[in-house]
Amino acid sequence: MIQEKANAMTTPKPLSVLICSAGRRVGLLNSFRTSLRDLGLEGRVIACDLDPGMSAACAAADAAFAVPRATDPGYAAAILDIARAEGVGLIVPTIDPELLPLAQAAQEFAAAGIRVHVSAPPVIDVVRDKSETARVLDMAGVPVPRTLTEAQLRATPDGLRWPVFAKPSGGSASRGLAVFDHIDMLPDTFDEPMIFQDRLTGPEYTINMFVDAKGALQCVVPHKRLAIRAGEVEKGRTERREDLHEIAAGILRTLPDLRGVACFQVIEDPEIGIAVFEINARFGGGYPLADYAGAPFARWLLEEVADLPRSADNAWRDGAEMLRYDDAVYRG
């Protein structure tokens, strides 16, 4: 009896992971699968999507489930039902629209013993509104492009240098991006609220960062975006840069309730300098490069959830490269 109690204390309980809006995120799914194995944790990596039959990650998962759109009022409840039924201990959202509904329901998930990898609602409110992101970061001294709303730009066209870069204030995945050479090129109306910024040129970087459960910045991995396709890095190379690490620290000081994995993007403009133009409070599409370089964020999240010794550090490899290519899942 004593030995059985000792074994129960030393053997981690099974821990399954649910990847939401899994889509093509096979690399992320495999990172969690590898991390479970390396930590000696029993568990599955399952996935859900609006149409799991058309999702490569769902096909590669240990199980897959259909869910409503992230904007559906019943989305969080559907995720909770799956998590309870499948013994899930960690839920990992991957797209912006699902962050707020899951953040608002995080306490309900926690009551069921399930951690949702999402920051608090006030953080999501800021990062999901690009106008607010620029305003809050600028006030905190974090470098951002000059940013105007549509009304501000029409009232003061000289407030930005032309051509200007336009994007939906609540957009994601490169939706609705445009460049206008002159104020007369703007349409009379837009279908949604837009922001306008100085058009930046120069090298572009994505910076992946990991903030532990206590709010400490443990790791910052910048990579230069050598080639981009559909808004995600296709070719990249890690670069250890203290200036980008300091910007990550500034973002965390500005958003002190940010937790877990996040990424932000900057352009190093030859005239303006470095400017942050995007923050994602979730795993970004280029995360597998950080993982390969020696920053296994997936493992570090699992260590927190399973209450295992923490191994997060900033000892990743400089100069690690990722060259993405097309692959396929075959069935039938």
Most distant CA atoms of the chain, gap in Å: 81
Looking at per-residue pLDDT, the higher value among 3 and 203 belongs to 203
Report the DSSP pairing between strands 321-323 and 147-149: unpaired
Mention every residue, 6+ apart, whose C-beta is less than 8 A from residue 73. none
pLDDT band at 252 (very low <50, low <70, confident <90, very high): very high
Q: What is the pLDDT of residues 15-32, one digit of tens each?
A: 999 999 999 999 999 999
State percent of the chain over pLDDT 70.
Answer: 95
Mean pLDDT of 296-307: 98
At residue 277's C-alpha, the angle toward residues 274 and 281, to 5°, is 120
Give the separation between CA 113 and CA 207, rounded to whole angstroms: 31
Do the beta carbons of residue 238 and residue 293 sit within 8 Å?
yes
Mean pLDDT of the residues in the chain: 92
- In this predicted structure, the answer to whether residue 8 has a pLDDT above a threshold of 50 is no
pTM: 0.91
Give the separation between CA 36 and CA 76, rounded to whole angstroms: 25
Looking at per-residue pLDDT, the higher value among 239 and 175 belongs to 239
The count of C-alpha atoms lying within 13 angstroms of the C-alpha of 295, restricted to the half-sphere facing its C-beta, is: 29
Mention every residue, 6+ apart, whose C-beta is less than 8 A from residue 17. 32, 36, 43, 44, 45, 46, 88, 89, 90, 91, 92, 302
